[in-house]
Structure 1
Amino acid sequence: MELSGVGVWSQQLRYGDAAEAAEAAAELEELGYRAMWVPDIGGPVFDAVGNLLAATRSAVVATGILNLWMHAPEDAAASFASLSAEHGDRFLMGIGVSHAPLVDAAEPGRYRRPLAAMSAFLDGLDAAGRPVPRDSRVLAALGPRMLETAAKRARGAHPYLVPPEHTRIAREAVGAGPLVLPEQTVILCSTRDEAREIGTDWLRSYLSLPNYAGNLLRLGLTQEDVDTVSDRLFDALIAWGDEEAIRRRVDEHRAAGADHVCVQVLTADGNAFPREEWRRLAPALT
């Protein structure tokens, strides 16, 4: 499984119409995107992965991330084995601990000891009748201890909602061998006002989650930056402007040590497939 170049991170490919998701996946592969990443908040995520694998020939399909609280490791391993047998070595299982407010919403107090929970989930994948190979899994990792776990027990790290500065820190933490596969949110637009109209509330929803807010504070942003969604914070996390501006941000991640960058395109309609934007970005990114 080769993980290089640029991919697409898309909630539409997971939660949008399955037929359009398949059609879009085939086009993304033709456009030169090397991987497609989909989120998970429970439910039939492996059906969505299978849909994308069936629609493509060589692209990697990855979970970004599989929420470990919402799947049994033996079931995840069985699904991985079935999809790999049918589609070859193209399914990358990204695994994460998610966030306490999301996990505890359905069952208060369930989210606890996330590092221990990750270790137990990986133990379950290793102990399954058909284990998930270490090189076919990556971990959502922001802080130093989870980055260390990603280097030791997976193929590398998939940091979400991070600037290039974090990519540099992640590379230093995991060393030369493991992969660093950051997500980068982007908005194709002409002005800051347009970018802000599309991205501010979206970003605010993530800043309410302590894992992301804490990571930004470690990077030197302030609580005021977080509370106000300052321009400094906005520009650090969202690349906005024309195709060249977005290409420069992807190049910054690469220069900082990223092996692969997956771009998440935001538009005014958060439910619509951003297919025109994917087409516009392809010549600059792929």
Structure 2
Amino acid sequence: MMFSAQGSSRNHCSLLAVLCGGKVSDNKQKQPVSDYKPRYPFPELSSSGRLEVLLLNNPSIDEFRRVLESFEPNIVYLQGEQIVDGEEIGSLVLGDVDLSTPEALCGLFGSTFPTTVYLEIPNGVKLAEGLHSKGVPYVIYWKNTFSRYAACHFRQALLSVIQSSCSHTWDAFQFAHASFRLYCVRNNNIFSSNSQKQSIKPGPHLLGEPPKIDVSQPEVDMQEEEGSPENLPAVKIYDDDVTMRFLVCGSPCTLDAVLLGSLEDGLNALLSIEVSS
């Protein structure tokens, strides 16, 4: 099941991005939400490569449902409230409707479910499980609280894979998660707003089954005996004269399990994407 599985061409993927409205932090002097400028320039969500993006900013429930049914996106990205003058991301609220329960969130979709839902909200385990149980094949979620900067790094890595390749949800997530672990976790750059490390393993998680890669068997001469294993040539992904080499560059450092594990997962995801393309 590729990102492009729902009624569109193989080289096309559609994403419906839904952003909740911002709100003022209770611990800061109140200021208009429109006047707030983050200290980090967050990339804009826009169409690029094979990815078509439709952006909804704090829509009503009815507006979301109308767009969902007409646009039929492969991916729905739901971003929680942005806390003005703060680093954290809040709960999922559209208009005046709080969607912090599985029943409320599943009811938002009605009978139309995309292939993938990305919940960029804190403590989203139950919400993700609710969507998955209702029939969403893949749900990306966060178990803990997290900063908007950490979320931005993962989101950009995820979208970069989708923009540039016909990738499966599983492989795109694995690559983005490997990048997140290298940059945010290994460099101790993943903190909540109170700058305390989380007791829960940081980072996003994925609900869903890994893809099954089917390699078609070469055709056998009909005159040969059917079902005879010795008559079937070995299946090879690449020819004998093809050599693949990887050059991994970086600053001098001591190799550790996080670094090696992230590199392994990222390279495996890239190879899986290439084999499936």
What TM-score, normalized to structure 1? 0.36
Q: TM-score, normalised by structure 2?
A: 0.37
Q: Which has the higher helix share?
A: 1
> Whose radius of gyration is greater, 1 or 2?
2
